[in-house]
């Protein structure tokens, strides 16, 4: 069983976003699997980089949708994204510098952050963007 399973209650009813959320879950699972198998620093670092870069790409799309449709809570949502991106990039840097190991605490942080964000903050724009025709 995967570390983090997609669940239909995670859906924001916007296919392009759901697909990206699924990809983020896949990267978190890949990182967890690599950690469990004691993979090399190179392998772990590469997955962490993919996760970090994809997170930025994903947030950019969400923010574009919210901005295009003048979503009222855009600024708060952007701030939430920015602080997560900052945290992940700090982890990445510390990892590259050998100051830090990928642990279950970090995995749980990533998992909890993503599921709470999808289930909470992202659900708040769902009905609004769906009504605007975003798919």
Sites of contact with Fe ion (CB under 5 A): 62, 122
Compute the least distance from the CB of residue 11 to Fe ion, in Å: 14
Q: How many residues does the chain have?
A: 135
Residue 97 is classified by DSSP as T
DSSP 71: -
Q: Is the C-alpha dihedral spanning 8, 81, 29, 3 positive or negative?
A: negative
The least CB distance from residue 56 to Fe ion, in Å, is: 12
Q: Please check whether residue 67 is in contact with residue 74, taking contact to mean a CB–CB distance below 8 angstroms.
A: yes
* Minimum CB distance to Fe ion smaller for 7 or for 120: 120
* Tokens representing residue 115 in the block: 């599921």
Of 30 and 122, CB closest to Fe ion: 122
Q: Which is nearer to Fe ion, 30 or 62 (CB)?
A: 62
Closest approach of Fe ion to the CB of residue 122, in Å: 5
Q: Shortest gap between Cβ of 130 and Fe ion (angstroms)?
A: 15
CA-only gyration radius of the chain, Å: 15
CA angle 14, 50, 69 (to 5 degrees): 30
Closest to Fe ion by CB, 46 or 63? 63
């Amino acid at each position: 069983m995967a570390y983090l399973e997609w669940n239909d209650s995670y859906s924001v009813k916007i296919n392009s976003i759901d697909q990206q959320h699924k990809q983020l879950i896949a990267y978190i699972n890949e990182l967890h699997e690599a950690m469990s198998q004691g993979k090399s620093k190179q392998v772990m670092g590469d997955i962490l980089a993919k996760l970090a870069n994809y997170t930025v790409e994903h947030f950019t799309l969400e923010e574009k949708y919210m901005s295009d449709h003048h979503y009222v809570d855009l600024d708060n949502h952007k701030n939430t994204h920015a602080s997560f991106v900052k945290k992940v990039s700090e982890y990445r840097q510390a990892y590259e510098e050998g100051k830090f190991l990928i642990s279950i605490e970090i995995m749980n942080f990533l998992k909890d952050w993503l599921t709470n964000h999808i289930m909470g903050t992202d659900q708040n724009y769902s009905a609004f963007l769906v009504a605007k025709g975003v798919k």
